[in-house]
Structures are given as C-alpha cells and as structure tokens.
A and B are shown apart, each in its own frame.
Chain A
Amino acid sequence: MSDTPTIAFFPEASFGAALNCVGIARALKERGARPVFICHAGFTGIFADYGFQEYHLPVSGAAVPEDYWQDFIRRHLPHFDLDPIDQIETYVAPTWEAIVDTAVQAEAPLRALLNRLRPDAVVLDNVVMFPAIARAGCPWIRVISCAETELPDPDLPPYLSGLAAGDVAGRGAFLDRYERAVGPAHARYNAFRAEQGLAPLDEGLFLEPSPYHNLLLAPSILRHDRALPLDPARFTFLEGCVRQEAPYEVPDFPGGGGPLIYVSFGSLGAMDVTLIERMLAVFATFPARFLVNVGGFRDAYRAVPDNVHLDAWFPQPSVVAKADLFVHHGGNNSFCEALFHGVPSLIMPYCWDGHDNARRAGETGTGRFLGRADWTPGSLTATLHGMLDDRAMRDRLAANARRMADASGVDLAATRILDAAGFGGTSRAGEGRQAG
C-alpha cells in the first residue's frame, strides 16, 4: 500500500453528483490523497478544471444523434407537468431503462480501467451499481446524494413519489405502479448482475448500500425518522457537502434594488424556455432583483425586464450565499446549497427526487412547493412575497446553516473515505454525527 491513497470517484453524469464529489475530493487532496475521476466522455474538463485527473469511459454503441436533446425535451417536457405517480410510466421507467443500458455498456471498460488504476478505494455517487466496482478488489463507498428517500425504509415515503411520510394509501398505489412499470428494467438489470456474479437486488432497487461505508448528504433538518435505523458504523450523515467557489459579484441592475432572488432549474430545466418566459413576465412587476440561469438559451429571450439578469451559468454556491431566496427544481445539490447558506427554497420540481425534496421542504419549514404546471401570476407573486416576509423560516434556516457549517460535510466525508480505504491514521477532520 502506497503512502498516497488513490481514491477513484465515479459520479453519475449529472452536475449535482459531479460537483458534490468535487467538494469531497478537494478535502481529500488537502489531506494528501490523490483523488481521480472516472466519468462519461461527455464530462471532459469538468474535473480537470478543478485540478483532478480524469479518466473517461469510452462511448460505446451508436453515435448520439445531433437532435437527441431537442427530441428529449420535446418528448419529456409535457411529462414534467404530471404528478409524480403519472411520471412513472412516461419518464421514470424509460430513464431506468437508459440507466441500465449505461451500466451494461460501462462494465467492460470500467473493469479494465479499475484494473489499471488499482485505486485504494472507489467512491460511487450514482443511482445504479456497476459490478466492476464491487469486484475491484478495494473498498467502495457509496454517496447518497439524492434525497434520503433513495435509501428505502417502511416509514419513509417511496423514492421519487413526492408523498408525505404518513400517506399509507398513496404509498401502496405508488409502489404498485412503480414496480409494475420499472419491473422490466429491473429484471434486465438483475440478469446482468447475475452474469457478473452479483446477487440480485430487491424489487425497485438498482443499487445496494456499500458493505464498507455510506455517506448521506441529507442534513439533519430534513431527516426522517426511520423504522429501521441505519447502522452508524456503516452510514454517516454529512450535513450536506457544499464546495467553495470564487466570490460572486452581483451585476448592476438598471431596474433598481430590492431583495436578490436566484432562479435555476438546472441544466435540464434551463431548456424549458416557455416556463421561464412566463416567470419573467411576473418578475417584471415584482420589487426584487432576479438572477436567472437560462443555460445556452439566452437568445431565446427578448424584452427582458430591467430587474432581471440572465446568464448561461452561475457559480451557484457563491450566488446562493448572496441570495434572499432560491427558486429551484429540487435537485438535492441545489437544496443542500440553499440550506448551507440559510436561504429559503421555493421548489418547482420537474422530476425524480425533486418531488421528494419539494415535499420535504414544506414539511420541515425550510422552503415551499409550487407546482410548475398550475401556478398563476397571482400565486407566484403571493408565494414570493410570503417567503421573503417569513421571518420564522429565515431564523430557522440561519440556525441550521450554522449547524451545517460547523459540521463541515466535505471534511467528514474525507475522514470516512480514508477510514474505509484503510488510511484512517491520516484523518484530521473533526468527528461528526454518524447515523443512528
């Protein structure tokens, strides 16, 4: 074993997981470890720009058609207006099919890469298990960067359901439809696992907890009471995992001052130009300044109000730190960043665990939910005013932000990873709370 542990991160191809892992990797690097990243070829440069070595999995299969994303959006935008239960057949099941395809295609090149790399540990921040990781001959650590519901429990609402914890009837109906629709993808995945020598997973599950260690991002303010408590020796709650970016200088708004509201629905949500256009019309009459993430679609907008600033990308943690309110899609990374900086979240979910986070924000008094399909200018205006005036929510979030800052999720994650990799002696971060 070398003195410098090589820790191979394998985040899924989404910005939330990728940037969450960057925060942990930077903490590991400060302790003398060598974090490297395994990623989809499409993520070239994301990790290298943070100073990390990247290894790309080769793209296999047919080339992606040029109009893939236009087609993706055309097909799925109407589905994002549906309730979570009605997204099961239209969006969730096809997405699981695609994820299983990815896992199957990645297996051989991933196995070859891990053989060459010989890491001391693999950190998997994904939604599906890759057998090559289980058979890499080193410990692997799972990061659960989605909502806590990703790790099922009889007392928790089902993953992706957006249901309340005590909704027994809803739970049954959701799980019935979920298991029926996702069943074919799940059966195909279990067959693939069997081919690779892994035991099958229970219905609806595509990724097991790690036998070494599991890191959950869910901060305590969002945590559920579990019927089956998690073993603190194997599960650690991180109180979020927020990275630091360069400070953000708020641009000059010709339309005057007022509270600062940051609006970002992630890279997928930025494609919903029609929704954002409707929102801009409301913002024009609202006494605040708005920063709006529109991705590569700036040219789709005209007559933008003077109190709105559009940009293709924002250094999100630094922007959230200066915002009075964060309107987002409920991505777990966005939600954690809002909580870390004590900023209320107005969640307008599209899909996946955004529904679970939107529900939980309301239940815990850390934010509010607004349906993306049925809001009106009046309801949006009233919600924005109500949240900006909600002193109790602001105080609650400020106290929680202090707790999260003290807990230093990235440092605790680094400690647990080094411990699992057998380099525990190099840990120097303060001990945090383990699960239980």
Chain B
Amino acid sequence: MTPRDEKPVTRRPRQNHLELARRILDLARDRGLEPGAHLPEQLIATQCNVSRTPVRAALKLLADQGLAVHEADAGYRLSRDFVPGASFAEPLPDAEEGALAQRIIRDRAARRLDETITVGEVMRRYGAERRTVLKALGTLAEDGLVTRAPGQSWVFATLPDSPESQADSFEYRLLLEPAALTAPGFRLDEDRAAALRRNMVAFLAEPDDRLDPRAFQRLDSEFHTLIAKGAANRFVAEALIAHHRLRELPGATARGNVVRLRQAMQEHLGILDHLESGQLAVAADLLSVHLRLSRSQRPQAANRGAPPLFGMTGRPGR
C-alpha cells in the first residue's frame, strides 16, 4: 500500500444518529404526519427507546438536510416541503465510519488495497483514528466484505465485480425476487412506490446526453429494494436487501448503454403499474423478463477469426 496525499476523514455524523434520523422519518411517515407537523422530542425518545440527547442530535441532522426546521420556541417541525415517500437514505450524509468504509471498498475494488490489510495501514493511508477504522471495518464485516484475521489483519472477501459474479447475481435474483412478489403477504409501500415512480419518469425525460448511469443505478437499487422490503417472509426480505447492498459496490453491475437504460426503466414502470393495481403474479412474470433482459451477455473478448469469449477463468499466459 502506498500512503498518498489522502485528505484526512472530515467530521461526519455518527452512525447511531443517522439511524435514529431515518427512524424518525419512518415514524413521521407511518403516522401520516403532514409537512410542518411538530416533532416532539420526548415522544420520539419514548417511541424509539432512547434518551432525548440522541433524538436532539438526529433532529438536528434532519434540519441540516432541510427535512426538518427548528423553531426556538416550538422545537422541531417537519419542513414545509417534506414529501412522505421521499428517499431517506440519499439526502443524509454518511457517517464518518460509513464514509471511510466506502473509501476502503472503493480502493479495494480498484485493487489499490491488497487482499489483506492491517488496521495500522488503514489508519496511515486515510489519516483516520483507530476507533473509526475499527468501526468502518466492522461495517464492512456486517456486509460480509471483510473478515477478521489473526492479529490486526483483516481479509477482504471476493468482491462481486467479475462477469461470473454478475451472472451468479442474476441467477440468484431470478430465484428470489419474483418469489418475493408471489409468496402470500407481499405488501407494497405505496408512498415510496409513488415517489419512486415520479423519479423514474423524471429520469426518462432526460435527453440521451444527460442520462446519468449513476442515477439509473440509484433508482434501480431503490426499485428492487422496494420489492425486497415488501416481502412477507423476513428471511427473503433480508437476503434480498443484503444482496442489493452488495450490488451497489463498485463494479458489481455491468453498465448499460442509453437504449438499455431507458428500456430497463420502462420495464420498472411496467412492473410498478401491476404492483400498484395488485396484479402481483403479472408483476412477478414481468420482473423475471426484466431480469433476463438485464443480464449482460456481452463477450469478454472478440477478435477476427476467433470465437467470442464469455467469462474468463484464469490469467492467460501464466
């Protein structure tokens, strides 16, 4: 590892405050609170089983993001333009350890970090404190991306960024995602579905030269996570949510061209149409078709006079 001119990690919100902020927004939505509604600290503390101090920190986070406002005499309120179905994760900043975890995984995906790293190396490279590094590695461990080795070492799992991993991912999703819809008890979060629909329509309205593949990936992840969260079977839901988090890692999904991005988004909307009208079996069928069409089949190599190659099983010439 080569320590470079990495900027030290800047102060970011603590993970528990972030999680609490998300729970407050969920609470507001579940209770049907309107924009401008009061957010009483004590009630939230009781509901979330925490003291008022972290609640205050979480409310301040929401205010920093424009999702809530603070009034000196009345405390916190939801902001006037609060949208109940809005995506909550995106506007909130990542926690310090979350940001470090992302940088670690970015550099591992780019093969800047070796398969095995030590806490000391990570501290030096990113100018981070031991406590932050350990929490970041803990976050990655929760997702199965690293495991602790003897001593101060941690070992990365194989990242899902090879063509073979991408193919396995589609096979896995084909088994589980349609089943999540057709198993009894699926429940669509209609507020989120409506908000997602607005964002997907807005995406499609962009001209080709402004069609942002990263925006597609965010919407794609939100859409498939919406389906996962609606599953009645909690093991199916947890497995799919964890898998979609994995798909957000660098290189885990193949990039599509503008035509395919538009087609895939149209397919999302078609599935959503049937979800919203309660035709779950049709939605499940369309979801299977969507996954099959989205699976990248492009050859890994092609050359005159040689058959195109799919997948690569080993390093050539060695």
Contacts and interface: CB of A to CB of B under 8 A. Distances in A.
A69 B310 CA distance: 10
Interface stretch (A113-121, A171-179, A304-312, A396-404): A304-312
Contacts of B317: 70, 73-74, 77, 271, 273-274
B257 interface: yes
Nearest to B212: A247
Which of A94, A246, A271 has the most chain B CB within a 10 Å cutoff? A246
B304 A14 contact: yes
A89 interface: no
B312 interface: yes
Contacts, number: 178
A203 to B, nearest CB: 20
Contact of B313 (A66, A254, A304, A311): A66
Interface in B274-318: 296-318
Contacts of B313: 66, 70
B211 A247 contact: yes
A351 B302 CA distance: 14
A350 to B, nearest CB: 10
A186 interface: no
Nearest to A70: B316
B305 A252 contact: no
A124 B312 CA distance: 30
Interface stretch (A39-47, A408-416, A425-433): A39-47
Interface string B220-258: 000000000000000000000000000000010011111
A252 B296 contact: no
A97 B305 CA distance: 8
B111 A298 contact: yes
B306 A98 contact: yes
B214 interface: yes
A317 to B, nearest CB: 10
Contact of B308 (A42, A50, A98, A303): A42
A270 interface: yes
B87 interface: no
A296 B305 contact: no
Contacts of B2: 284, 303, 305-306
Contacts of B263: 51
B306 A45 contact: no
A297 B312 contact: yes
Given A43-B308, A49-B257, A303 B112 contact: yes
A315 B114 CA distance: 27
Secondary structure at the B interface, as helix, strand, loop or mixed, is loop
Interface in A56-108: 59, 64, 66, 68-70, 72-74, 77, 94-99, 101-102
Contacts of A295: 300-301, 312
Nearest to B303: A268
A45 B298 contact: yes
Contact of B251 (A18, A45, A301, A312): A312
Interface string A317-360: 00000000000000000000000000000000000100000000
Interface in B1-42: 1-2, 4-6
A13 B299 CA distance: 10
B147 interface: no
Contact of A246 (B106, B107, B213, B251): B213
Nearest to B294: A49
B232 to A, nearest CB: 34
A247 B209 contact: yes
A98 B305 contact: yes
Which of A77, A98, A284, A296 has the most chain B CB within a 10 Å cutoff? A296
Contact of B310 (A42, A49, A313): A42
A246 B303 contact: no
Given A13-B302, A51-B259, A68-B307, A302 B114 contact: yes
Nearest to B4: A306
B260 interface: yes
B302 to A, nearest CB: 5
Contacts of A254: 4, 6, 103, 107, 112
A99 B304 CA distance: 7
Contacts of B304: 12-14, 95, 98-99, 127, 352
B110 interface: yes
Contacts of B182: none
B208 interface: yes
A74 B316 CA distance: 7
B316 A273 contact: yes
Contact of A244 (B103, B112, B209, B303): B209
B267 interface: no
B306 A299 contact: no
A245 B257 contact: yes
A284 B299 CA distance: 30
Contact of B316 (A271, A284, A309): A271
B4 A255 contact: yes
B163 interface: yes
Interface in B124-144: none
B162 interface: yes
13 contacts: A12-B304, A13-B308, A70-B316, A72-B303, A77-B316, A98-B305, A244-B258, A246-B208, A246-B213, A267-B299, A273-B317, A310-B111, A313-B298
Q: Which 3 A-B pairs have the closest CB atoms?
A: A42-B308, A98-B305, A45-B297
Interface of A: 12-15, 18, 40, 42-46, 49-51, 59, 64, 66, 68-70, 72-74, 77, 94-99, 101-102, 127, 244-247, 249, 252, 254-256, 267-268, 270-271, 273-274, 284, 295-306, 308-313, 315, 352
Given A13-B307, A42-B310, A309-B110, 6 more contacts: A13-B302, A42-B299, A101-B305, A246-B258, A306-B112, A312-B163
